[in-house]
Amino acid sequence: MTTPNLALPLLAAAQAQKHVTVNEALARLDGLVQLSVKDRNLTAPPAGPTEGDRYIVAAGATGAWAGWDGDVVLFTGGAWLRLPPKNGWLAWVEDESLLLTRSGGAWSADVLIKSKNIEVTRGALGGAISLQVIEETLSSLSGASVTSTVVIPNRSICLGVSTRTSAAITGATSYDCGIAGTPGKFGASLGIAAGSSNIGVIGPQAFYADTPVVLTANGGSFTGGEVKIAIQALTFAAPT
């Protein structure tokens, strides 16, 4: 019997040599908690591994790793221990300084896309840069324009604002996405049909005040519909 998530072996009633089972469970925990692997491109075990070394096995594995493609492996007690991953696991790849996520039965480096706010780097004194995605659904559109409650943050560099018409817009023939004073900054004459989208990339621009996004109706006022917006920006922290 094992636990459902990490496959830790469980003690049986009246089991002899219980320490063997407990030690295996501890080894698995030691290998999986705060998962950091040395490499993800090897198909065979390296020569002279060190106790505690961990790897993600590349496709086409051979030797002691044969059949373990995509698995995490831990060198412990002089042997390789196989640790099959599950969707949702995260792993840091040391030789690439890269964070991977396990999804759909494969490892990928798209965690930044799926995260709202990721710190990219931090200096020794605490200064930092973060990549931020700020989203909102603007529903039941009404009037000549609609202003978001989320904002492009003060002291940030905006890379763009993306939109998707998630429910057909009525009352207008198209709409612009921008800010006060520049209605089409992130896209003009955008589609009103459900599913229409736009990637409103701009030349990176610094903003010195919290700045909401404004949708402006063309050819009439909004009488209905829904638009999802995503602000993509770099934000900063001063040294502590």
Q: Measured between alpha carbons, how far is 88 from 93 in angstroms, rounded to an integer?
A: 16
Q: Same domain, yes or no, for 174 and 228?
A: yes
One domain for residues 165 and 195 = yes
Q: Are residues 178 and 196 in the same domain?
A: yes
181-237 pLDDT tens trace: 999 999 999 999 999 999 999 999 999 999 999 999 999 999 999 999 999 999 999
**What is residue 108's predicted lDDT score, i.e. its pLDDT?**
78
Please enumerate in sequence order all residues whose Cβ is within 8 A of that of 63, keeping only pairs 6 or more positions apart, or say none.
44, 45
C-alpha span between 102 and 56 (Å, rounded): 11
125 and 208 inside one domain: yes
> Same domain, yes or no, for 92 and 43?
yes
Tell how far CA 212 is from the center of its chain.
24
Final residue of a structural domain among 112, 134, 150:
112
Q: Is residue 175 part of a domain?
A: yes
171 plus 106 within the same structural domain: no
What integer pLDDT is reported at residue 141 of this predicted model? 94
- Domain boundary residue, one of 46, 78, 112: 112
Mean pLDDT by 10 residues, the chain (240 residues): 53 62 61 82 94 93 96 91 89 84 78 60 92 90 94 96 96 98 98 97 96 97 95 95
Query: Are both 155 and 43 inside the same structural domain?
Result: no
| Whether residue 162 sits in one domain with residue 148 | yes
Q: Which domain holds residue 108?
A: 34-112
The CATH number of residue 213's host domain is 2.60.120
Q: How many domains does the chain have?
A: 2
Cα 184 to Cα 216: distance, rounded to the nearest angstrom: 8
189 Cβ contact partners less than 8 Å away, ≥ 6 residues apart: 174, 175, 176, 218
| Structural tokens at position 17 | 């040599």
Give the pairing of strands 128-139 and 224-237: antiparallel
* 7, part of any domain: no
Q: Is residue 95 in a domain? A: yes
Q: Are residues 154 and 204 in the same domain?
A: yes
Q: Does one domain contain both 52 and 74?
A: yes
Give a yes or no: residue 84 inside a domain: yes
Would 11 be classed as within a structural domain? no
The CA distance from 95 to 236, in Å, is: 27
